[in-house]
Amino acid sequence: MNPPSPEPWLRGPLEGVPPWVQPVFHSFLQVREDLAAHTAGLSDEDVWRSLAPLPPLGFQLRHIAGSVDRLTTYLMGGQVSPEQIATLKQEATPGAPLAELLRGVDEALADAEERIRKIPAESLYEPRFIGRKQLPSSVLGLLVHLAEHTQRHLGQAITTAKLLRG
């Protein structure tokens, strides 16, 4: 039996990824690995079963994908589009199968990685403004929040998946 591999952040640098964004990439790798491990064997029906007071796992997976997309938009200096708002409003709508939800998470992470990889170190302290109220942050602040927020919802998804198994 092989010993478990260390968490992504303990595996060393990722080739082709600038050091100032490596923690976000490690966070995203952890999301991919943990979701694959903890959702294996769940049915499409399980994904949308409600375990009050927790939202369904399907919502949590959609929220991970959607929040990564929205936060990356702010990170790159943009504002959330009407399409992104419409997607946000549909996060709790049941029906999508597990494979589609996991694919949505992976695609959102991959798109974010492609954009984040191009962030120059000298831009880390540039201001960014979030939401309708234009709350202040920075490129660095958004990078930290992107990793943290994604991990928070990963934890919720893992807990829900464990409860679904009984």
Give the whole-angstrom CA distance, residue 60 versus residue 92.
8
Q: Is 13 part of any domain?
A: no
Residue 153 resides in a domain: yes
* 14 part of a folded domain: no
Question: Does residue 80 belong to any structural domain of this protein?
Answer: yes
Q: What is the CATH number of the domain that holds 153?
A: 1.20.120.450
Note whether residue 9 is domain-resident. no
Q: Give the integer Cα–Cα distance in Å for 141 and 120.
A: 15
**Any domain includes 6:** no
Give the predicted TM-score (pTM) of the model. 0.95
Peptide bond into 82 cis (omega under 30): no
With cut-offs at 50, 70 and 90, classify the pLDDT of residue 166.
confident
User: What percent of the chain stands above pLDDT 70?
Assistant: 99
Per this entry, what is the length of the chain? Answer: 166
Percent residues over pLDDT 90 in the chain: 95
Domain that holds residue 126: 19-33+42-165
**Is residue 10 included in any domain, yes or no?**
no
Query: What tens digit of pLDDT does each residue of 132-153 get?
Result: 999 999 999 999 999 999 999 9
Model pLDDT for residues 92-110, shown as the tens digit of each residue: 999 999 999 999 999 999 9
**AA letter at 60:** Q
Is residue 160 domain-resident?
yes
> What is the per-residue pLDDT for 1?
65
Report whether 161 contacts 51 (CB < 8 A): no
The tens digit of pLDDT for each residue in 1-59 reads: 677 789 999 999 999 999 999 999 999 999 999 999 999 999 999 999 999 899 999 99
Instruction: Give the chain's domain count.
Output: 1
Using CA atoms, how far apart are residues 119 and 108, in angstroms rounded to an integer? 17
CA distance to 6, 7, 25, 28, per residue, from 12 (Å)? 10, 10, 12, 15
